[in-house]
C-alpha cells in the first residue's frame, strides 16, 4: 500500500496539468501558507525571549538525552527564557515538560505527518500551533528565538540545525548562539565539517566554526546562552 502511494506521488510529478488545474491547486495552497504564517505571527509576536530546542521525536523518556533536554528547559525557564520545541514526542516533549514543570512559557510548533508526530501534553494551550508546511514552521523556529539548543536527532534535527547556521552565516538573522549537546553524538559531524568542508574544500570560512558551541551537560548548554547575552548586558525581561 505504501509503495503504491509513493508510486502515485512520483507519477503525479510527471503528469501534465492544464492551466485551470494548476491555478486552482496552487492558488489554494498559497492561501493555506498565508493562513499558517498569520496564525504563527499572531500567537508568537509577544512571546518574549525564547530558546528553540531541537532533537529527535524518537527519544524515549528513559534516555540520557531526554533527561538532559528536560533539565536544560527547566534551567532556561529559571533563567527567564521561554522554550520553543517542535511540539512532538521525544526530545521535544522533554523540552516542553521541563518548561511546563517550572511554570515557564512552553511553545509547541507541531507538524502534521503520516507517522510519529503528535503534540505532547506539556505545551501551553494558547501556544500550540500545528503546521502543514515545514518551511513555515522553520520560519517560526528562527524568527521568535534568541538562541538554539540542538540535542541528538535525525534528518529533521539536522535540517533545523543547518537552517539556523545558514541564516546566521548569511546574516539573515542575528548572531544568536547555537549549542550542540552531546560531544559523542556531534563530534564526528564537526570533524567532517572541519576536515572536509573547511580544510579540504574551503566551502566555509574558519570563522564559521565559531557559530556554534559543543557541550555535554545542561549547565554548560544554558551557560553558553547566558554568557552570550551577558556580553551585551541583556537579560530576559519576564
| Residue 222's CATH number | 3.40.50.450
Tell whether 31 is covered by a domain.
yes
Residue 90, pLDDT score: 97
Residue 11, pLDDT score: 58
Tell whether 141 is covered by a domain.
yes
Q: In whole angstroms, how far apart are CA 200 and each of 186, 219, 230, 236?
A: 20, 35, 36, 41
Tell whether 10 is covered by a domain.
no
Tell whether 43 is covered by a domain.
yes
Could you read off the pLDDT of 84-114 as tens digits, one per residue? Answer: 999 999 999 999 999 999 999 999 999 988 7
* Structural domain count, the chain: 1
| Domain of 106, in residue numbers | 17-230
Strand partners, 148: 52, 178
Residue 27, pLDDT score: 78
The backbone region for 128, taken as left when phi is positive above 0, alpha when psi lies in -120 to 50, beta otherwise, is beta
Tell whether 150 is covered by a domain.
yes
Tell whether 238 is covered by a domain.
no
Low-confidence ranges of the chain (pLDDT < 50): 238
Tell whether 236 is covered by a domain.
no
Greatest CA span in the chain, whole angstroms?
Answer: 59
Tell whether 74 is covered by a domain.
yes
Amino acid at each position: 500500500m505504501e509503495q503504491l502511494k509513493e508510486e502515485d506521488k512520483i507519477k503525479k510529478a510527471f503528469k501534465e496539468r492544464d492551466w485551470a488545474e494548476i491555478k486552482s491547486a496552487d492558488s489554494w495552497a498559497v492561501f493555506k501558507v498565508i493562513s499558517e504564517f498569520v496564525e504563527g505571527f499572531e500567537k508568537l509576536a509577544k512571546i518574549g525571549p525564547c530558546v528553540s530546542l531541537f532533537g529527535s521525536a524518537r527519544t524515549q523518556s528513559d534516555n540520557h538525552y531526554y533527561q538532559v533536554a528536560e533539565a536544560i528547559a527547566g534551567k532556561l525557564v529559571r533563567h527567564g527564557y521561554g522554550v520553543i520545541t517542535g511540539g512532538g514526542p521525544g526530545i521535544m516533549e522533554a523540552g516542553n515538560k521541563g518548561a511546563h514543570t517550572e511554570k515557564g512559557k512552553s511553545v509547541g510548533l507541531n507538524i502534521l505527518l503520516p507517522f510519529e508526530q503528535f503534540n505532547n501534553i506539556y505545551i501551553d494551550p494558547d501556544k500550540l500551533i500545528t503546521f502543514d508546511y515545514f518551511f513555515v514552521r522553520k520560519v517560526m523556529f528562527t524568527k521568535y528565538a534568541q538562541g538554539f539548543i540542538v540535542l541528538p536527532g535525525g534528518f529533521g534535527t539536522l535540517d533545523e540545525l543547518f537552517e539556523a547556521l545558514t541564516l546566521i552565516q548569511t546574516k539573515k538573522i542575528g548572531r544568536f548562539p547555537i549549542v550542540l549537546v552531546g560531544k559523542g553524538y556531534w563530534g564526528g559531524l564537526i570533524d567532517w565539517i572541519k576536515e572536509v568542508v573547511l580544510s579540504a574544500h574551503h566551502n566555509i570560512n574558519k570563522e564559521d566554526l565559531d557559530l556554534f558551541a559543543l557541550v555535554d551537560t545542561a549547565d554548560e548548554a544554558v551557560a553558553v546562552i547566558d554568557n552570550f547575552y551577558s556580553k551585551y548586558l541583556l537579560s530576559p525581561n519576564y
